[in-house]
Amino acid sequence: MDKVKVIEIKRSVYESNDREADKLRSELKEKGIFLLNLMSSPGSGKTTTLKQTINKMKDEFTIGVMEADIDSDVDAITIAKETGVKSIQLHTGGMCHLDAGMTRQGLDELIDSKIDFAILENVGNLVCPAEFDTGATKNAMILSVPEGHDKPLKYPLMFSICDVVLINKIDVMPYFDFDMDECIKNIKYRNPKAEVIPICAKTGEGIDKFAAWLKEQIKANI
């Protein structure tokens, strides 16, 4: 598959994004759809992590993926090709984040079949996506080892709104000045309740634990 559906999403017109997000969240709950919002810096490994996670979970759940990017459709194609699940590309038209109205536009295209687990891969950005509630059931983020263990100190909001923080690329820890204990301490300083799961999306290490966490959340949402 070399082509995926590309949606040019429009800026939302809603006055209150928070209200719109709460509305979307409760509509999704009624329909029995769990929506995960996955955020990170550019190049932290969101797409590879999703690929591995979807392949672990697709027998149990009907999954659909929205890949948000300013431009290009490489991620949606990767997901479609390598997992076989329904995947669409959202183009944000230069926008640095998605809000609830924009997420709804994507979901309207995605949910034409019975999907029970929808995933939004947000724009690669540690700042703006944290400021806009997408209506997701749960928020996840990836911090990768090469980015450094000090990131929770610099991007407080992102770490404080996420239910789970995946620490990716642990296979390259020997080549970077990365202190795992310090990293976890910094994450917990911003968000004591955050679940922290070290992973290597490339090899699949830790993905079982993330998939187990997701299953637990999905079941709690029904």
For a second copy, which residue of 64, 101, 106, 124 counts as binding (CB under 8 A)? 124
Contacts of 40 (CB under 8 A, 6+ apart): 46, 124, 126, 141, 142, 143, 144
Question: What single letter denotes the amino acid at residue 39?
Answer: M
Distance CA 154, CA 101 (A): 28
31 contacts: CB under 8 Å, gap ≥ 6: 111
Q: Does 42 bind a second copy (CB under 8 A)?
A: yes
**Tokens describing residue 10:** 């429009």
Our CB check for a second copy shows the closer of 83 and 186 to be: 186
| Residue of 41, 83, 103, 134 that binds a second copy (CB under 8 A) | 41
Of 10-18, 80-88, 155-163, 207-215, which part binds a second copy (CB under 8 A)? 155-163
Residues 64 to 93 in contact with a second copy, rule: CB under 8 A:
69-72, 74
117 binds a second copy (CB under 8 A): no
CA atoms of 90 and 100, how far apart (whole Å): 13
Q: Which is nearer to a second copy, 41 or 105 (CB)?
A: 41
Residues 6+ apart with CB under 8 A from 16: none
Q: Does 43 bind a second copy (CB under 8 A)?
A: yes
Residues engaged in binding a second copy (CB under 8 A): 41-43, 69-72, 74, 94, 96, 123-128, 131, 144, 146-148, 150-151, 153-157, 169, 171-172, 175-176
